[in-house]
Structure formats: C-alpha cells, structure tokens
Structure 1
Amino acid sequence: MSRALSITALALSLVALAACGWTAWRQQQAQSPDRVLHARGLIIRDGQGQARVILGAPVPDPTRSEKALGPRAAPLSGVVLLGPDGTERGGYGTLDTGGEAILTLDDASGATEVFKVVANPDRGATLMVKHQNNTGAMLTSWQGAPELLFVDETGRSFYVRPGMPSAP
C-alpha cells in the first residue's frame, strides 16, 4: 500500500508541477510586449462608466445621448469618439462597401458633421467643413478635377472649377 501511495503522490506532484509550469508560461506570454490581442470590438469608458471610445469591426450605429439614431449608411470599421453624454462626436474608419476611408468630427449635439474627409479609392478625395447654420465649404476631386464649393446661409452654392470664372 505504501508503494501505491508513493506512486500516486509522485504522479499528483508531477501533474501539479506541469500545471504550474504551464500557468507560468501563459502568464509570461500575457505580459510579453509582443502580445497581440484579437477582438471584434473594444469599448473604453470614463470614470462615470460612460462609453467614450469605441473600436470595432464594425462599430455600432450612431447614437445621441445613448439613443440609437438609425443605421449607418454602410457598415463602418474603425474608431468612434463619444462625448460625455454618449453622443457620437466623430470617428475614423473604413466603409465595408465602396472601400472609402472616412474621418469626421461632429458638433456637440452630434447632429452636424462639421468636418469630414472622405477618401475613395476610385473617385479621389473630398474635404468638407460645415457650420451648424449650414454654411460651409467643400474641396473635392470627385469628378476627376479639383472643385471648390461654397454654400452660404441661404443655401446658395458657388463653385470654383478650373477654367471657370471664380465665385463672386
């Protein structure tokens, strides 16, 4: 009986030693600077528990004061910035359809994209700057040539294109 007890104790000791070694190896891997995380999303919250940064593939639909505003025009993968009340304030990402890369900054209410850059792999790039009163400017190469568009507070548009007279 003593021999069986010794063999059992030795076997359990070897299993425990192997488990400790495996745990130490996994712990070292988890702390390695070469470690890579794999995830579909990450939400970073502030001290009050409010989501402030969302990293996702794709990110969720836009919100205003934590209420959904409806679906995005197309699924977007990237980073979304949220204000202290949960309102989407901007982001950077790529659209799943069309291959566009987009960078936006929204006003405090989240209702107006006041700054937007769109890069399309087939159609060039567009930069838009807008005020909440709907005045703004757009610089684009969308149609294959540079264009500059100004919109005044009445909604009238003024274009500047190569070979065309300047806006008043």
Structure 2
Amino acid sequence: MSRALTFTTLVVASLALVVSSWTAYALHRSQANDRVITARGLIIEDGTGQARVILGAPVPDPLSKGVSQGPRASPLSGLILIGADGSERGGYGTADVGDEAILTLDDATGTTEVFKVTANPDRGATLVIKHQNSTGAMLTSWQGRPELIFVGDNGQSHYVRPNAPSAP
C-alpha cells in the first residue's frame, strides 16, 4: 500500500508542478511588454460607469446625452470621445467610404461639429470652424485650389479665392 501511496503522491505533485508552471508562464505572457491585444472595440468608462472613450472598428453611431443621433454618414473606425453626460464630444478616425481621415471636436450637446478637419487622398483637405449660431469659416482645397469661405449668422456666404477680390 505504501508503494501506491508514494506513486499517487508523485503523480499529484508532478501534476501540481506542471499546472503551476503553465499558470506562471501564462501570467508572464499576459504581462509581457510585447503582447498584442486583438479586438474590434474597447470602451473606457469613468467611475460612474459612463463610457468616455470608445476605440472601435467601426465605432457606434453618434450620441447626444446617451441617445443615438442616427447613423453616421459612413462607417467610421477610430477613437470617439464622450462627455460626462453621454454626448459625443469629438473623435478621430477613417471613413470606410471615401477613404477620408477625419478629426472633429463637437459642442457640449454633441450635435454640432465646431471644429472639423477632413483629409481625402483624392480631394485635398478641409478645415471647418463653426459656432452654434451657424457662423463659421472653412478653409479648403477640395476643388483643387485654396478657398476661404465665411458664413455669417444670416446664412450669407463670403468667399475668398486666389485672384478674386477680398470678401467685404
């Protein structure tokens, strides 16, 4: 009987050693500096459980106070910043349609892009600065030449193009 007990003890001890070694190896790999995490999305929440940063491919539709504002113009993959009230406050990403790179900052409600930069490999770049009262300015090379467009609060546009008179 002592021989069976010795054999059983050796088997259990060996098994415990193998499991412990494998666990230590797996823990070491999970903490290694060169590890790669593969995922379609990552949501970072604040202390109250409110999503504040979203990384995704694609990211969800825009939100205002946690309510969807409908679909994006094109699926977007990138980074979205969310305010404490659940409103989208900006983001950086690439659009699936048009191959554009986009950087935006939104107003406090998440319904108006007050700063937007768009880069398109075929159509140049555009910078838009906008106020909630609809006034704003746009600098663009969209049509193959530089243009500066001002929009007043009455909706009237003033354009500045090369070789054209300055806007009043």
Q: Note whether the superposition's TM-score is higher than 0.5.
A: yes
The answer on 1:6 being equivalent to 2:6 is yes
Partner of 1:25: 25
Partner of 1:164: 164
Residue identity opposite 2:12 in structure 1 = L
The answer on 1:148 being equivalent to 2:148 is yes
Aligned-pair CA distance for 1:9: 2.6
User: Which deviates the most, 118-127 or 28-37?
Assistant: 28-37
Aligned-pair CA distance for 1:35: 2.0
Secondary structure of the structure 1 residue equivalent to 2:80: strand
Partner of 1:106: 106
Residue identity opposite 2:56 in structure 1 = G
Aligned-pair CA distance for 1:38: 1.4
Q: How many Å separate the matches in 1 of 2:16 and 2:74? A: 52
Aligned-pair CA distance for 1:8: 3.0
Aligned-pair CA distance for 1:24: 0.3
Q: TM-score, normalised by structure 2?
A: 0.95
Q: How many Å separate the matches in 2 of 1:62 and 1:83? A: 12
Secondary structure of the structure 1 residue equivalent to 2:81: strand
The answer on 1:80 being equivalent to 2:80 is yes
Q: How many Å separate the matches in 1 of 2:11 and 2:164? A: 88
User: Which deviates the most, 81-90 or 38-47?
Assistant: 38-47
Residue identity opposite 1:31 in structure 2 = Q
Aligned-pair CA distance for 1:82: 0.8
Deviations 1:123-157 (A, max 9, x none): 11000000001010000011111111111111111
> How well do the aligned residues superpose, as a CA RMSD in angstroms?
1.2
Residue identity opposite 2:111 in structure 1 = A
Deviations 1:28-76 (A, max 9, x none): 1111222221111111111111111111111111111111111111111
Aligned-pair CA distance for 1:7: 2.7
Q: TM-score, normalised by structure 1?
A: 0.95
Secondary structure of the structure 2 residue equivalent to 1:163: coil
Aligned-pair CA distance for 1:80: 0.6
Residue identity opposite 2:82 in structure 1 = L
Residue identity opposite 1:112 in structure 2 = T
Residue identity opposite 1:9 in structure 2 = T
Aligned-pair CA distance for 1:4: 3.5
Q: How many Å separate the matches in 1 of 2:64 and 2:163? A: 43
Aligned positions, number: 168
Q: How many Å separate the matches in 2 of 1:137 and 1:151? A: 6
